Amino acid sequence: MTRRRYWVYFLLFLLNTISYTDRVNMSVAGHSIATDFHLSPVALGYLFSSFLWAYVLVMLPGGKLIDAIGLHRVAAICATVWSLAQIGTGLAGGFVTMLVTRLGLGVGEAPVSPISYRAVRDWGPFTEHGTAIGAIQSGTQLGPGVGAALVSLLIAATSWQTSFYVTGAIGLVWVAIWLSLVSTPERTRWLPEAEREKIFAERHVTQAEAPAGPGGGYRGLLRSPSMWGLAISQGCAVYSLYLYLSWLPDYLQTQRHVSMVHSGLFTSVPFLVGAVVIIVVNWFGDFLLSPDALRAGKRRNVVIVCLVLTAAGIAIPFANSLALVVFLTILPVSFSNAATATNAALTSDLLHSPADAGRAFAFLVLGGNVFGLLAPIVTGYLVAATGSFVSAFVLAGVLALIGAMLSFGLTRFPIGQADTVAAVAPAE
């Protein structure tokens, strides 16, 4: 049996890698931008967070658009929008114009995760959903891991403006390749018929799912306790992820007195390790859990373990050496992202309405990024008020533990059934 569907996974992995390289570009360049534009930590926090404002607002409409016109079309549109916005950031002449281009980045990047999750649901047998999502989402770790180092070197060799031009151009190249190769599983010509039939037969967890239908829409999702548990626990994981994605280079430069180039290199370490961890964790979940366990939502146990390990970031400000700091950042960076990927696979496990898949994944990512939106801003205020990052790291760790408790208590019911609230969870 061929596995040509893996090429779709690979292109989506590249999409995630590029999108997160574009995000970390601002984090690495932030100190230089703050110096040029005379920005305070609070102003820099707003700049780090600004793309998430549009990201959050566009998320639910983006999920609906994916269900309406297809993920393959939305992927090309969104990558074009954010790549042009990235180039525009390099052209910005001040705080306000840069804020506008960052909003454009948020509009373009909003559908990326729902696109990735929906693609796995459409293109892969359910027994590989966790591994496929982990592999694709490892790009969100590889992007900062490689991007932080390359962007820092590029800025040192040229300017921070050039770094935005280069990363934006890479996204446009991806769009051209995607448009030439990918449609739906039904219409992609290079997909062998035997593999196409396997995908159609095995891509849903429950055989009772109807292949088509209107679904319950966002109103039905709002009635599901599992959907709320997924969205809020996702937020608790994403808060940590954006704290480190946005502020780790600045923390290393200002609190640990590391040079810009070295801060980019040190920032890359936990993200590179995380790219491996996210695949291993999700492969492990697919390998250990039987189809019956997946249907029962037992993948939540993997989410819980990941969130508990994320909370280890509380120890970072108390570390007495730079080597220990870099080592400790591996845990929250790696396992916060592993938790988000596993949560996406858990959403697919629990969802009983294929017609609502794009909306469900958008709701999940919205929950994550409402918290992610706050992380850079709250951190900026905490650093400005206290002069240190201690309270910022502690807050992120506490939220991770809260997310673990919510995942344990709420993600026990099917999503998309009339009797969702009344359903009795299987025994642990």
Burial class (CB in 10 A: 0-12, 13-18, 19+), 355: middle
Interatomic CA distance for residues 87 and 105, integer angstroms: 10
Q: What is the pLDDT of residue 149?
A: 82
Mean of the per-residue pLDDT values of the chain: 87
Q: What is the pLDDT of residue 216?
A: 66
Cα diameter, the chain? 62
> What's the pLDDT band for 12 if we cut at 50, 70, 90?
very high
What proportion of the chain, given as a percentage, has pLDDT over 90?
46
User: What mean pLDDT is predicted for residues 143-151?
Assistant: 84
Residues 6+ apart with CB under 8 A from 292: none
Structure confidence by residue, pLDDT tens digits, 94-143:
899 999 999 999 999 988 988 998 999 899 888 888 899 889 989 988 88
Q: What is the pLDDT of residue 215?
A: 53
Interatomic CA distance for residues 201 and 44, integer angstroms: 50
Q: Which of 324, 338, 327, 329 is nearest to 275 (CA)?
A: 338
Q: Which of 86, 103, 123, 104 is nearest to 11 (CA)?
A: 123
Residues 6+ apart with CB under 8 A from 294: 126, 127, 205, 349
Q: What is the pLDDT of residue 422?
A: 42
Structure confidence by residue, pLDDT tens digits, 13-60:
999 999 989 988 988 888 889 889 988 888 887 888 788 788 888 888
Interatomic CA distance for residues 321 and 380, integer angstroms: 24
Over 80: is that where the pLDDT of 1 sits?
A: no
Q: Which of 340, 363, 289 is nearest to 128 (CA)?
A: 289
User: What mean pLDDT is predicted for residues 404-428?
Assistant: 67
Least confident residue range of 117-121, 183-187, 355-359, 408-412: 355-359
Q: What is the pLDDT of residue 415?
A: 85
Residue 69 bridge partners (DSSP): none
Over 50: is that where the pLDDT of 419 sits?
A: no
Over 70: is that where the pLDDT of 210 sits?
A: no
Structure confidence by residue, pLDDT tens digits, 317-350:
999 998 899 899 999 999 998 999 999 999 988 8
User: What mean pLDDT is predicted for residues 352-362?
Assistant: 80
Structure confidence by residue, pLDDT tens digits, 55-81:
888 888 888 898 889 999 999 999 999
The encoded tokens of residue 224 equal: 């599901």
Do the Cβ atoms of 270 and 313 come closer than 8 Å? no
Q: What is the pLDDT of residue 403?
A: 96
User: What mean pLDDT is predicted for residues 244-263?
Assistant: 84
User: What mean pLDDT is predicted for residues 256-282?
Assistant: 85
The secondary structure of 77-144 as a DSSP string is HHHHHHHHHHHHHHH--SHHHHHHHHHHHHHHHTTHHHHHHHHHHHHS-GGGHHHHHHHHHTHHHHHH
| Domain 6-199+215-410 = CATH 1.10.274.10 | no
Which residue bears the tokens 């700091």? 325
Interatomic CA distance for residues 7 and 25, integer angstroms: 27
Q: What is the pLDDT of residue 380?
A: 87
- List the domain boundaries for the chain: 6-199+215-410
